[in-house]
Chains A and B, each alone.
Chain A
Amino acid sequence: MIKQYIKQAIQLLKENKLVSCISIIGTALSIAMVMVVVLLFQIQLNGYYPENNRDRMLYVQGTEATGKSGNDTNRGAMSAEVVRECFYSLKTPEAATAIYSDDLPLSLPDKRLYKEYSVKFTDDRFWNIFDFRFISGKPFSKADFLSGIPKAVITDKAAREFFGTTDVLGKSIVINFIPFTISGVVKEVSKAARDSYASVWVPYTTNDQLMSLQYADGITGAFGVCILAKRAGDFESIRKELKQQITRYNEGKKLYKVGFGENPISRLDIAMGSEEFKKVDFKDFILETGSLVLFMLFVPALNLIGVTQASIQRRKSEVGLRKAFGATYSKLVSQVLFENLVITLLGGIVGLALSFVLLSFSKDFLLQNNTMLNMDMLFQPVTFVAALFFVLVMNILSAGIPAIRIARQPIVEALKGNE
């Protein structure tokens, strides 16, 4: 039976080439637009090099110091003290790391230069939380971090730009007059991996200004924190333990108390648009993105309804005949839907391909400038499931009403074949 439907659908496609083309391109365009939205969300949500464990991660992007008397607040990032007292001592998660990012010029020992690179000041735990591929060498160790030894990890790209080779272990680069010994070279990272992206990583203990930067009773400072849970299910118990840590820490404070608003937030929250103190509810996200997606499906669907309607009306007598010989309502509806599915599927395949093209053309304004897109970011099973889902939605939107209409027609009228 299905074979019969497919044959019929293909015959119909051939019969009116222009209209078929329009239907397929229309569907493709709509699926492509929707898939760009899906892919952008996916780039935010799913893990890829070196943030492979995003499903187990929690993020603290905002820190708030509130006066114990009065109501003045100081919002920003956290000081090294808060990192140490509240996060390094957490027992439930696998690890927690503190990160400060800056754009700084890198110089050679014998020459001061001014071209800026992205530098991350962090700790040794950073390397356990993110899965960097080391081309050579190794990260700075816990001992290096604790004693503030100026060692640096650098990307292969930066190494090539600076030294013309990736074989740079033991060589020195200068940041703010301090020479750092290169201890490891890693593969370049996409800017979309915001928490791990940099050209150079160094221990933050080497920067005494960063260590001593603090406002509001030593609470706010420069750092954000990423936490890696042992299991995704641990999020609640981590939040609970953190709460205890905060209470304990605040007891020792005279003027201010620390708070993190809705933080720590999960990767899903970030993908839905949460940042710093602003947390986006699931409901708001669905309302906003859902209506955009629906709009992008609905406008072309209106086109297709018109076209499907007209082409089915021409087969009125055929439907009447089938009905007279006992075809049921559901059979007729499913036949129309199935025939239409061939068009939408074709459109879906073209659309999915088109969405990759669209995304790489428009990535400069949709993502950050010069964001590198790679295969494992885009080609994930969920991409194809999502595309198929939207194809089916499109199918029902565009052929549902014409199918029901024709199947409902009284036999006599249908057999007559007139409009």
Chain B
Amino acid sequence: MIKQIVKMLWSQKRSNGWIYIELLIVFGALWAILDALLVDAKTYYSPLGYNIENTYQFKLAKMNNQAPGYVPDSLIDLSEAGSLLKLMEQIRKNPEVEEVCATFYSCPYSFGNSWTSIVPTEEADTTKANEESFQVRRVTPEYFKVFRVLDKEGKAVTPQLEGIQNAVVLSADLEKQFYHNQSAKGKKVSFRGQIDGNQVAAVCQPVRPSDYEISAPCFYQVLTGKLLEEYVGYFGAQQSEFCVRMKHAKTEEDMNHFLEDMGDRLTVNNLYVYGVKKLSDQRSQLLSYRERNMKIKFSLMAFMLINVFFGIVGTFWLWTENRRSEIGLRMAVGSSKFKLYKYMNLEGICLFSLTIPFVILFAANMAYFDIMDTARLPLSFWRFLLPMGSAWLLLAGMITIGIWIPARKAAKMDPAEALHYE
């Protein structure tokens, strides 16, 4: 049966050729788009290493010296870090607030991007210490509670930091890179030129910079005491990212009311909160480029599928017109309406399936020249089968729907009249 269909298709290559080329191009393009979507989706749905639900960044500023309420330097009794800590404390006291932390260019979805080199202290003075840089996030101890960062065993990180001066927290992949299968907890790591080292207080789960990236080895530097004074002095308290986790979800309006109700408690000396943004809004802003890209891909997919639908309807409509005699003959010798439809559909699917070898060739080429995204998802049998299979199913579905319209027309034909064309 299939052999006969292929023979028929070959004999009509002139009229089938164009739709064949279209199916080939669309199949190839659909596969490429679906492959990219698969990689995105696989990355998107793996754990991030932190949670930003119900978290907000309060925007800080320093009062202008012309502003009413400005406190001259001579009257300020707190250091800048002191003012920041006091502001944190005042906000933490509100019953609607769960926890507050401050970070420097380090909060999730910020544009912060500090990299620095560290090595295990025992290797610091040996020659094998190669100076590799890792992303560092500079955070106060409450950070791990605000963003629900857990250690490898799933326990909270913040309590483990207590009593440790200049603590650092490594991500699990950095621990693996430094100590292979040994535990890093309690060991020491050194910054460039530092001899005594900082104690690793905990090892947290791998951290992904954003939803569309895979995790990279990185670490947290915990800011307390002198270290905090140093950083606040260097960057300025108003430059810190002041992050707050609320106990319950709030709308933008709720949040504005919350701030209005806080009143004077949002000001410490000249440092004050002037606004708020939801971290999930910041996230969508940062990822909007990706989302836009994805929506464009979906539009292109829809466009191609509609075109295939039209192409199939058109081609098979003309097919029924040109082959009226054949249809008549088939009906005369007992072909039922359903059988006729099945035959036409099989012919369409066969025509389409003939594109498979070329698309596989195209995919193999893409893989060979390393055009596919292998960094986020390595090549595998499934990586090929899943997008290719879905593309095939989508197109086959479109063809099946498309053929139904001309098939209905063909089936309506009166056998006697159809045979008349013979």
Contacts and interface: CB of A to CB of B under 8 A. Distances in A.
A177 B310 contact: no
B307 interface: yes
B163 interface: no
A146 interface: no
Interface stretch (B21-29, B80-88, B129-137): B21-29
A177 B64 contact: yes
A307 interface: yes
Contacts of B260: 111-114
A374 B295 CA distance: 23
Contacts of B15: 306, 309-310, 313
Interface string B368-407: 0000000000000000000000000000000000000100
Contacts of A366: 292, 296
B415 interface: no
A25 B310 contact: yes
A208 B64 contact: yes
Contacts of B263: 112
A177 B63 contact: yes
Interface string B283-294: 000001001100
B301 to A, nearest CB: 12
Nearest to B238: A209
A307 B315 contact: yes
Contacts of B52: none
Contact of A299 (B64, B256, B274, B304): B304
B97 to A, nearest CB: 16
B21 A302 contact: yes
A305 interface: yes
A209 B296 CA distance: 41
Nearest to B19: A306
A299 B317 contact: no
A419 B11 CA distance: 11
B275 A177 contact: no
Interface string B54-77: 000000011111111100000000
Given A208-B65, A306-B315, A33 B303 contact: yes
A6 interface: no
Given A115-B256, A307-B315, A365-B292, A177 B68 contact: yes
B310 A303 contact: yes
Contacts of B67: 176-178
Contacts of B68: 177
B336 interface: no
B275 A104 contact: yes
Given A103-B275, A115-B256, A178-B64, A303 B311 contact: yes
A19 B317 contact: yes
Contacts of B22: 299, 302-303, 306
A213 to B, nearest CB: 11
Contacts of B304: 299
A207 B374 CA distance: 49
Nearest to A401: B18
A296 interface: yes
A114 B17 CA distance: 64
B57 to A, nearest CB: 13
B256 A302 contact: no
Interface in B234-259: 255-256, 259
Contacts of B21: 302
A23 interface: yes
B275 A114 contact: yes
A379 B25 CA distance: 34
A303 B314 contact: yes
A18 B69 CA distance: 76
Nearest to A402: B18
Q: Which of A111, A114, A298 has the most CB of B within 10 A?
A: A114
B303 A305 contact: no
A177 B272 CA distance: 11
A22 B66 CA distance: 70
B117 interface: no
Interface string B83-107: 0000000000000000000000000
B276 interface: yes
B313 interface: yes
Interface in A97-151: 103-105, 111-116
Interface in A22-62: 22-23, 25-26, 29-30, 33
Contacts of A209: 61-62, 64
Q: Which of A115, A207, A307 has the most CB of B within 10 A?
A: A307
B327 to A, nearest CB: 16
Contacts of A105: 274-275
Nearest to B65: A208
B306 interface: yes
Q: Which of A22, A105, A309 has the most CB of B within 10 A?
A: A22
B73 to A, nearest CB: 15
Nearest to B68: A177
A104 B405 CA distance: 58
B310 A26 contact: yes
B353 interface: no
B406 to A, nearest CB: 8
B322 interface: yes
Interface in B182-207: none
Given A26-B307, A302-B25, A114 B19 contact: no
B19 A302 contact: yes
A307 B274 CA distance: 64
A300 interface: yes
Given A26-B310, A112-B260, A302-B21, A296 B274 contact: no
Contacts of B310: 22, 25-26, 300, 303
Contacts of A112: 260, 263
A362 interface: yes
B22 to A, nearest CB: 4
A68 B275 CA distance: 39
B46 interface: no
A19 B314 contact: yes
Contact of A114 (B25, B61, B256): B256
Q: Which of B14, B306, B311 has the most CB of A within 10 A?
A: B311
Contacts of B51: none
B292 A18 contact: no
Nearest to B294: A365
26 contacts: A16-B317, A18-B405, A25-B310, A26-B307, A26-B311, A105-B274, A105-B275, A116-B275, A176-B61, A177-B64, A178-B64, A178-B66, A209-B61, A299-B303, A299-B307, A302-B25, A303-B22, A306-B17, A306-B18, A306-B19, A306-B311, A309-B15, A309-B18, A310-B315, A310-B322, A365-B295
Top 10 nearest A-B pairs (CB, nearest first) are A177-B67, A302-B22, A306-B18, A303-B311, A114-B256, A310-B318, A114-B259, A365-B295, A307-B314, A305-B18
Given A177-B69, A209-B64, A295-B29, 9 more contacts: A22-B310, A177-B67, A302-B18, A302-B19, A302-B21, A307-B315, A362-B299, A365-B295, A419-B14
